[in-house]
């Protein structure tokens, strides 16, 4: 057996070597050819563009003023398929040992083998072209900073510093809030945030009317002169079918939240709807957004006609009583909540992965997906609320308003409110 293997291996080895030589020769020709065309290009375009711009693939960015001007910085945006170790090796000029020591030193602060696609890394080089500092944008608010002293790396997490200015976006509903708000200058994340803020009062999936109005005061941010993700929403007004709703951001003794004009927290036990505007809008463009309709039927059951697969959220914090197939209801979930309330969600196409009877679910958590199981003529969600076993109209649910601001804080809240009062008129 052994000699046989050897015999068959030998010729392969020779042919591999031959292939290698031919391959290298071919590569050399290709390299020389490209070098030649690049030289030609440079010669032609030399007057308009400096040669470096044609060769340099990685964008060099301007230095933040706080750092020394002698530093050279290379910024790299992580793309799909990137291997973390290779990203550090090729952009940061680090060898395998450096990368290993970097990963293990930073481990407790951030696991760099988990760098995310689309996030940016910046490599700062010293005069000897050695990486002395690496920055990684962990998310919109935080930055991981790695510094090198000799062959030791140290890592820490820092808050990203933005230049912040207050901005106001106002508009009228002409198509969808999602589209109209972005046309008014809001970023997508901020538009979805507006939906969250008012999710206890307005069902953004079915109640928004043409000519409704909005005013959003928010933090517009930039970073080193470049536009950056919006910051907090500071104040907002939404006029829905003639009724004005207000929201003011207030830091109530370290607990930031949104309050109405009377200084009561907007959060209540139940969301206005079990279909979340955030889950429906995100990733859609106006033209592709499906209109969702709502119909209250006998016994105060609500039918939401929505495409199969639309995520269904728990309307309040609660516990799963059942999640199974029940004749005419099809796949149905029943939840119990505080204060004697129960809810049901029928005709689902499927349950959220891993949903178990007895499990606690939080308000807004996805528990299932719209479908047409059981006695149903088309995809819709059958939603109902009972109070002590008696059906109540979810649209007229008389829930206590949220916690009010008390004591010393009232004066501070009034100041916040007055500051935005004119803008929200
Ligand atoms: Zn139904």
pLDDT tens digit sequence for 146-163: 998 877 899 999 999 999
Q: Residue 173 C-alpha to ligand 1 middle, in angstroms?
A: 30
Instruction: Return the minimum-mean-pLDDT range out of 40-44, 158-162, 314-318, 379-383.
Output: 40-44
Residue ranges, comma separated, of all CATH 3.10.450.350 domains in the chain are 55-159, 164-268+403-425
Sheet containing strand 72-77, strands side by side = 72-77, 120-125, 131-137, 142-149, 152-159
> Rounded distance, CA 419 to CA 236, Å?
12
Quote the ligand 1 centre to 375 CA distance (angstroms).
8
What does the pLDDT average to over 264-270?
A: 95
Region 330-336: what's the mean pLDDT? 98
The per-residue pLDDT of the chain, averaged, comes to: 84
Q: pTM here?
A: 0.76
**C-alpha 382 – ligand 1 centre gap (Å):** 4
What is the location of CATH 2.70.70.10 in the chain?
Answer: 283-399
Domain 283-399 sits in which CATH superfamily? Answer: Glucose Permease (Domain IIA) (2.70.70.10)
Helices 96-106 and 84-92: crossing angle in degrees, nearest 10, is 120
pLDDT: which is higher, 114 or 283: 114
Dihedral through CA 312, CA 205, CA 276, CA 178, nearest 10? 140
Residue 421 confidence (pLDDT) above 50 = yes
Question: Which pLDDT score is estimated for 21?
Answer: 57
The architecture (CATH level 2) of 164-268+403-425 comes to: Roll (3.10)
Q: In the predicted model, what is the mean pLDDT of residues 342-346? A: 98
pLDDT-derived band at 6 (thresholds 50, 70, 90) equals very low
Lookup: tokens for 167:
């901005």
Contacts of 101 (CB under 8 A, 6+ apart): 151, 152, 153
Could you tell me the distance, in angstroms and rounded to a whole number, from the CA of residue 40 to the centre of ligand 1? 71
pLDDT of residue 222: 96
Assigned fold of 55-159: Nuclear Transport Factor 2; Chain: A, (3.10.450)
Backbone torsions φ then ψ of 332, nearest 5 degrees? -130, 145
| Centre of ligand 1 from the C-alpha of residue 286, in Å | 27
**Does residue 412 surpass a pLDDT of 50?**
yes
Burial of 94 (0-12, 13-18, 19+ CB in 10 A): buried
The pLDDT of 358-381, averaged and rounded, is: 96
CA of 163 to the centre of ligand 1 (A): 51
Residue 401: per-residue pLDDT: 83
What is the whole-number distance in angstroms between the Cα of residue 377 and the centre of ligand 1? 9
| In the predicted structure, residue 4 carries a pLDDT above the cut 60 | no
User: What's the average model confidence in pLDDT over 372-388?
Assistant: 96
């Amino acid at each position: 057996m052994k000699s046989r293997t050897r015999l068959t291996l030998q010729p392969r080895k020779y042919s591999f070597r031959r292939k290698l030589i031919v391959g290298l020769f071919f590569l050399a020709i290709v390299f020389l050819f490209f070098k030649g065309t690049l030289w030609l290009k440079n010669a032609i375009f030399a007057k308009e563009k400096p040669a470096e711009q044609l060769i340099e693939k990685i964008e060099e960015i301007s230095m933040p003023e706080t750092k020394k001007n002698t530093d050279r910085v290379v910024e790299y945006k992580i793309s799909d398929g990137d291997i973390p170790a290779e990203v550090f090796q090729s952009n940061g000029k680090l060898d395998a040992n450096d990368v290993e020591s970097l990963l293990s030193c930073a481990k407790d602060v951030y696991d760099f083998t988990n760098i995310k696609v689309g996030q940016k890394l910046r490599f700062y080089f010293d005069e000897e072209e050695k990486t002395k500092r690496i920055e990684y944008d962990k998310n919109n608010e935080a930055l991981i900073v790695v510094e090198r002293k000799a062959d030791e790396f140290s890592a820490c997490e820092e808050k990203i510093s933005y230049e912040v200015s207050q901005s106001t976006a106002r508009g009228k509903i002409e198509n969808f809030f999602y589209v109209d708000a972005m046309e008014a200058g809001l970023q997508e994340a901020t538009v979805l945030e507006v939906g969250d803020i008012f999710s206890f009062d307005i069902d953004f999936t079915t109640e928004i009317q043409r000519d409704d109005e909005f005013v959003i005061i928010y933090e517009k941010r930039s970073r080193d002169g470049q536009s950056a993700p919006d910051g907090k929403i500071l104040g907002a007004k939404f006029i829905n079918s003639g009724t004005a709703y207000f929201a003011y951001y207030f830091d109530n003794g370290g607990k930031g939240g949104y309050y109405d004009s009377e200084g009561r927290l907007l959060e209540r036990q139940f969301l206005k709807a079990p279909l979340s505007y955030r889950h429906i809008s995100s990733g859609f463009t106006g033209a592709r957004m499906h209109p969702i309709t709502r119909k209250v039927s006998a016994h105060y059951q609500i039918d939401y006609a929505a495409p199969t697969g639309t995520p269904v959220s728990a309307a309040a914090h609660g516990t799963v009583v059942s999640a199974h197939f029940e004749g005419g209801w099809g796949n149905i979930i029943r939840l119990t909540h505080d204060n004697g309330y129960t809810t049901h969600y029928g005709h689902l196409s499927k349950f959220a992965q891993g949903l178990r009877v007895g499990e606690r679910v939080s308000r807004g958590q996805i528990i299932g997906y719209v479908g047409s199981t059981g006695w149903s003529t088309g995809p819709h969600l059958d939603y109902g609320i009972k109070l002590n076993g008696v059906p109540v109209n979810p649209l007229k649910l008389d829930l206590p308003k949220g916690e009010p601001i008390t004591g010393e804080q009232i004066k501070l809240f009034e100041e916040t409110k007055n500051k935005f009062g004119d803008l929200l008129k």
